[in-house]
Structure 1
Amino acid sequence: MNIVIIEDESAIADTLIHVLEMDGFQALWFNTAGAGIAHLKNESADLLILDVGLPDGNGFELCKQIRGFSSIPIIFLTARADEIDRVVGLEIGADDYVTKPFSPREMLARVKLRLKSTRRQVEPCNAQEQDTLRVENFDYIRGNVALGLTALEFRLLDALLKSSPRVLSRQQLMDFSNMPCEEAYERNVDSHIKSIRSKLQKIELAECLKTKRGFGYYFEKDRM
């Protein structure tokens, strides 16, 4: 399995590469945000270990960009240990958050855990399973296709599905999803809904997410 590391400290990168390769993983290191995201856009990878403080960008912003095109598991590795940083990191779509200094063996265990929890089923689904929208690892999956939702997108879609066919206002969606205070304004809900609808296209369910003009949004399960 291929692990990508985006980290500007060579000593830390060397430690990660050593412990991963000793366990049979292939590790590829980039010391800038630009080089790392360019690789991820063009090559497949199974997991990303991402620093927050990079010489040419912020790891949080990079995570948001990656979530726009990939559902790859992301583990933040950073010296920023404040609770608010952990919360932000997980809210924007990271799967785990490890602070420096860190235990290489613990990091290896976390890598294995994330890979195990996100690994797709290799057996073919039967017809009923192909049509079922189910939850795995805080993401919605149909057949073998995962939507790649961020944590906030997952909570929004989850609220709509559980409330279907009832219309939820933007304020209700903000409340149900526990949207962070800095993001809690109505037009931001529209942006997240647009992103969810785009991801639903992968499983041909985009038309099920409806807009009730002047009121809010609802999910039409009868069209699944």
Structure 2
Amino acid sequence: MTHKILIVEDEENIAEVLIAYSQQQGFSTEYFNSGKGVVNFVKHNPVDLILLDLMLPEVDGITVCKEIRAFSSVPIIMVTAKSEEIDKLEGLNLGADDYICKPFSPKEVIARIQAVLRRVNKPTANIIRQSGFEVHKEDYVALLNGKDIGFTAVEFKIFLLFLSQAGRVFTREDIINTLYNQALDMSDRNIDNHIKNIRKKINQVEEGLNPISAVYGVGYKFKAT
């Protein structure tokens, strides 16, 4: 299957490189040098991913992204040149799947494209979605509102256990037995530290959110919202 990439970039030299590298990887491409007409094109033409520059003439990338998200979940990778723009991206709920900063290596862009396509095309049996969280079992990736939480492998396994059975109370022994099959000398304190780190990383993405609650004298559970 050939994936079609829509490249929206006003700098001609950058667009030429992106088009060339994309086609070398077997992708077909469509190209716009401004934001004008992009939304209408996406409405009437199937594309598999959009590389969307933030600063565009006529219609900016933020507006284009918002308008596309009103009717489509096509993957969008935003392209930005300034640190202030990155702050703006992170502060807005645009619905973009990823962003990349100029200057960049074309190989890095291709790697990002391939990663996003793998993620969105992965069988849903390998993905758990719950209360704003999205966990990709095979990739050891946990997202909160589209942003990578950054769990370690052990933290990911613990969080996956909670998320897969939301509402169930797990004792520390349950967690140890499930994750380690008693092969490692894990203690209750180790588990408590992992839970603490999981909560901290979730809070770094969304301040004040605490979906894992302690059940006094028993263990922990995930609270679905």
Could you say which residue in structure 1 is the equivalent of 2:80? 78
Could you say which residue in structure 1 is the equivalent of 2:6? 4
Residues 1:27 and 2:29 aligned together: yes
Q: Does the Cα contact within 8 Å between 2:38 and 2:64 map onto a contact in 1?
A: no
Among 8, 15, 18, the alignment partner of 1:16 is 18
Q: Which structure is higher in helix share?
A: 1
CA distance in 2, matches of 1:25, 1:85: 30
Deviation at 1:80, TM superposition (A): 2.3
Could you say which residue in structure 1 is the equivalent of 2:66? 64
Letter aligned with residue 88 of structure 1:
G
CA distance in 2, matches of 1:26, 1:138: 32
Structure 1: which 4+ aligned runs deviate by more than 2 Å? 80-83, 136-140
Could you say which residue in structure 1 is the equivalent of 2:139? none
Could you say which residue in structure 1 is the equivalent of 2:51? 49
Helix, strand or coil: the match of 1:94? coil
**Structural mapping, 1:141-152, within 5 Å:** 151=146
CA distance in 1, matches of 2:21, 2:60: 26
Q: Does the Cα contact within 8 Å between 2:52 and 2:77 map onto a contact in 1?
A: yes
The normalised TM-score by structure 1 is 0.55
Q: Does the Cα contact within 8 Å between 1:92 and 1:151 map onto a contact in 2?
A: no
Structure of greater Rg: 2
Letter aligned with residue 87 of structure 1:
E
Letter aligned with residue 81 of structure 1:
S
Q: Deviations over 1:135-157 (max 9, x none)?
A: 299669xxxxxxxxx759xxxxx
Among 86, 90, 100, the alignment partner of 1:87 is 90
Give aligned pairs, total. Answer: 146
Letter aligned with residue 111 of structure 1:
I
Q: Does the Cα contact within 8 Å between 2:18 and 2:106 map onto a contact in 1?
A: yes
Letter aligned with residue 27 of structure 1:
T
The normalised TM-score by structure 2 is 0.55
Gaps of 5+ in 1: 141-149, 153-161, 164-174, 180-218, 220-224
Helix, strand or coil: the match of 1:92? coil
RMSD of aligned alpha carbons: 3.6
Q: Deviations over 1:4-45 (max 9, x none)?
A: 011111111100000000010001101121222111011111
Gaps of 5+ in 2: 136-144, 148-165, 168-202, 208-224
Deviation at 1:93, TM superposition (A): 0.7
Give the direction of change, closer, same or farther, for the CA distance of 1:27–1:118 in structure 2 (3 Å limit): same
CA distance in 2, matches of 1:106, 1:62: 24
Q: Does the Cα contact within 8 Å between 2:34 and 2:56 map onto a contact in 1?
A: yes
Q: Does the Cα contact within 8 Å between 2:5 and 2:49 map onto a contact in 1?
A: yes
CA distance in 2, matches of 1:69, 1:79: 27
